[in-house]
Every structure is written in structure tokens, then in C-alpha cells.
A and B are shown apart, each in its own frame.
Chain A
Amino acid sequence: MYTQMVDVSEAGLDDDSERQRIFDDKIDRNVTIEPDDWMPAAYRETLVRQISQHAHSEIVGMLPEGNWITRAPSLERKCILMAKVQDEAGHGLYLYSAAETLGTSRDAMVAALLAGRAKYSSIFNYPTLTWADVGAIGWLVDGAAIINQIPLTRCSYGPYARAMVRVCKEESFHQRQGFEVLATLCGGTPEQRALAQDALDRWWWPSVMMFGPPDSESLHNERSMRWKIKLYTNDELRQKFVDQTVPQADFLRLTIPDPELKWNAERGHYDFGTPDWAEFHAVVRGNGPCNRERLRARIAAHEDGAWVREAAHAYAGKRAP
């Protein structure tokens, strides 16, 4: 059992010691914190940042896949992809709603995204060049997201945990459809197999980096784990992702682009190479292959939809009793 440390400078221990004690006790007993409960200011701020970034990722994540809706190779694949992209919009909504319970507004969060002040997952700044990329995103990116999100269904903040339950339930088809796209390509012509391998070559490392910087560099790991808004460290989740994905790649008879990848019988895990963290930091800072394009697309969608929002307001205003 860890000690419930209190960050005096941020939590205002002097004024709130009794409330702080009640809060700590709930965290220790795995009683969820609910919107009207007292919580330390830093807990609230960290959650707003974490949940809104998560929401932005869902919304921006619609763009790389949306790119292929009109070009999906069959009507069924098109229906599947539309359903998946529609799910991502819903996930964004669940998460914005969870963040709103902490006292921020959705408009403020969206404004921060469009102004380039808010972050979203680095993975969505990579381009989807071929149809196989749609498969790789479902298999690897959604696979990584599920590993990250399942523990969050047990996180300490009630509305976030409940949003995650819904998201995880809907997410499981996303990963399977992606794997099926690649399995179909792998069972096809040599050119189709090559497409699948090329997609894995380009998406493997960005997916491994989705779990964030290594624990040695991760600034807020310890505090977030104390608060139970993070239940496993970045490196633990990354290891789980590699262990789970390698046998799936073997089944597809695809080669993971990591010469250091090797089963370690002693650890009972795969050993693997070090991602290019310089690339990760560059993408997070806004210099990935598609950062500017993604933001431009979001801004355009927001501005093009302004007349709809205004019309709905005007209509509701006229009909109000």
C-alpha cells in the first residue's frame, strides 16, 4: 500500500485538511470521487487536462480514417468505417461531458484545441497513405488505446470511469475490424501482403510511442498514480501492448520492424528496442507529418458549421415559450 502523500503547495492543506482527509480516504478505499465532492485543485486541473486531451484525440482521430471512407474497397468496408468514425465522435462527446462536470465548458475546450493550446495523441499526426493503414490503425492504434483505457474504467473520478466503460465496450469492434482488414490483405496477392507489411512498418513505432515517454522521463506519473487517475505506468502499458501484439503479427506472418524484438523467457515478456523519442517530442511539439493539416481541418469544420449552430440557436429562441 502506498502512502497518501499530499502536495501541500497545490492542494491547500491548511484550509482544507478535513476535506483533504475525506478525499484521501475515498481514494484509498476506491470510492469514486463525484462532481459535487470536494477535491484538491490540482486533482481537478490534472483531470481537466487529461480528459480534454483524451476527448480531442477522439475528435482529431476521426480525420486519418475519414480520409478513406469514400475509397473503402467495398460497401461493407465503407459501412464499417463510417460506423467506427461515428463511434469516435461519440467517444469525444462522452469525454467532453465528463470534463464538463469538473467546471469547464466544452466551448472553452474546443477553443483551446483550435487555438493550438491543447494537445491530442501524437499518433493522429501521421498520414493514412494506403487502405492497409486503416487496418493498421484499428489493429495497433485502437489496440493500444484499449490497453490504455481498460484500467481507466476503474479510475477514481466517477464520470471519467463511466465514460471509459462505454468507450471500451464500443471500442472492441474497432480493433477486430482493423485486424480483419490486414488478415484479408495478408491472404491476398503479393502486392496486398506488401501493403500490409508497409503499413505495419510505418505504424509500429508511432503506436509503441502512444503510451507516452518512458517512466524515467514521465513527469506526473507518480502523482497521478497516487490519485488513481493512472493505474499503470507508461512502460508497463507499453510492455503489455508489445506482448499482446507480437503473436498477432506472427499469425499474420508480418514482420515487426524492430531487430531487437525477442522473447525473454526469464522475464516472461518480449524485449524490444527503444523508440525514437526525438521524433515523439517533435510530433508532440507540433512538428509531425500532419499536425498543421489536422488543425486546419478541425478549424475549417468548426467555422463551416457556425451557421448551423447559429440557426439552431435562432430557431430555439423563436420557439421558446
Chain B
Amino acid sequence: MSESERREWPLWEVFVRSAHGLAHKHVGSLHAADAEMALQNARDVYTRRNEGASLWVIRATDIVASRPEDRDALFSTSQDKPYRHPTHYNVPDGVKNL
């Protein structure tokens, strides 16, 4: 077995920003030996149809993510605060630009 088969290229996550001013969005992942190759591969695989104006690649192991079991602790408290949304408030008929 050759050296390359014992050691897999690391996994990178790919983010693309479209030309329309939106933030970078996760589009998928790929394997590459280093950052330069990851960027080149990302260009080849994820931007063949004018999808992007900018690319980010990040080693998958460098991403810090919230854990599924923490979901309630992190996010459930925001569900009982409807007053944070404009739809919570009554706007009297006839009042404009509010």
C-alpha cells in the first residue's frame, strides 16, 4: 500500500459568496492536501455555473459547532419572546410608516 493510501487528504468545508451581496454560504466539502489545492478544487467543483464571486475553504476539523444535545438549552429560550418580533405589536388603522 502506498503512502497516499495510508494517509487520506484532510477534509475541507467550502463556502461561496454569490455576486448578489449575500454572505458566504456553505455549499459542501472536499478533500485536498493543502489550502491552495482546496481552493483550486473548490473552484473546479462548486463554481462551474457562475455561482460565486468569492470562496472560503476551512479545514473541517477547525470548525467549532454546537452539539445537538445542547439544542434546547441554546435555542428554546428564544421561542417564548414574541415581543422581539415586529408582528407582536398592533398598528392602529390609519397609522402609516410604522
Binding site for B on A (CB under 8 A): 34, 36-37, 83, 86-87, 90, 93-94, 97, 100, 105-107, 111, 163, 166, 170, 306, 309-310, 312-313, 315-316, 319-320
B23 within 8 A of A: no
Q: Please encode chain B, from 1 to 18, with 1 for each CB lying within 8 Å of some chain A CB and 0 for all others.
A: 011110111010000000
CA–CA, A86 and B49, complex, Å: 12
Are B8 and A105 interface neighbours, CB within 8 A? yes
B85 within 8 A of A: no
CA–CA, A86 and B7, complex, Å: 26
Binding site for A on B (CB under 8 A): 2-5, 7-9, 11, 27-34, 37, 45, 48-49, 65, 67-68
Given contacts A36-B67, A90-B45, contact A106 B8 (CB under 8 A): yes
Are B45 and A34 interface neighbours, CB within 8 A? no
Are B48 and A90 interface neighbours, CB within 8 A? yes
Given contacts A166-B28, A310-B4, contact A315 B33 (CB under 8 A): yes
Q: Which of A86, A90, A166 has the most CB of B within 10 A?
A: A90
CA–CA, A87 and B48, complex, Å: 9
CA–CA, A83 and B31, complex, Å: 21
Given A166-B27, A309-B9, A310-B3, 4 further pairs, Cβ under 8 A: A36-B65, A105-B8, A166-B28, A306-B4
Are A107 and B8 interface neighbours, CB within 8 A? yes
Are A97 and B30 interface neighbours, CB within 8 A? yes
State the main secondary structure of chain A at its contact with B: helix
Tell me the minimal C-beta distance from B87 to chain A in angstroms: 24
Are A313 and B4 interface neighbours, CB within 8 A? yes
Are B28 and A97 interface neighbours, CB within 8 A? yes
Candidates A107, A163, A312; contact of B33 at CB < 8 Å: A312
Complex interface: chain A residues within 8 A of B3 (CB):
310, 313
Q: Which chain A residue lies CB-closest to B49?
A: A170
CA–CA, A37 and B8, complex, Å: 25
- 29 interchain pairs, CB-CB under 8 A: A36-B65, A36-B67, A83-B48, A86-B48, A87-B48, A90-B45, A93-B28, A93-B45, A97-B11, A97-B30, A100-B11, A105-B8, A106-B31, A107-B5, A163-B28, A166-B28, A306-B2, A306-B4, A309-B2, A309-B9, A309-B33, A310-B4, A312-B37, A313-B3, A313-B4, A313-B7, A315-B33, A315-B34, A320-B34
CA–CA, A170 and B3, complex, Å: 35
Tell me the minimal C-beta distance from B71 to chain A in angstroms: 10
Are A309 and B4 interface neighbours, CB within 8 A? yes
Complex interface: chain B residues within 8 A of A107 (CB):
5, 8
Q: Which chain A residue lies CB-closest to B14?
A: A97
Are B68 and A37 interface neighbours, CB within 8 A? yes
Tell me the minimal C-beta distance from B10 to chain A in angstroms: 9
Tell me the minimal C-beta distance from B67 to chain A in angstroms: 7
Are B29 and A97 interface neighbours, CB within 8 A? yes
CA–CA, A309 and B11, complex, Å: 15
Q: Which chain A residue lies CB-closest to B65?
A: A36
Complex interface: chain A residues within 8 A of B4 (CB):
306, 309-310, 313
Are B33 and A94 interface neighbours, CB within 8 A? no
Tell me the minimal C-beta distance from A299 to chain B in angstroms: 13
Tell me the minimal C-beta distance from B73 to chain A in angstroms: 15
Q: Which chain B residue lies CB-closest to A96?
A: B31
Complex interface: chain A residues within 8 A of B8 (CB):
105-107
Given contacts A86-B48, A310-B3, contact A316 B28 (CB under 8 A): no
Complex interface: chain A residues within 8 A of B68 (CB):
34, 36-37
Complex interface: chain B residues within 8 A of A306 (CB):
2, 4-5
Q: Which chain B residue lies CB-closest to A317?
A: B33
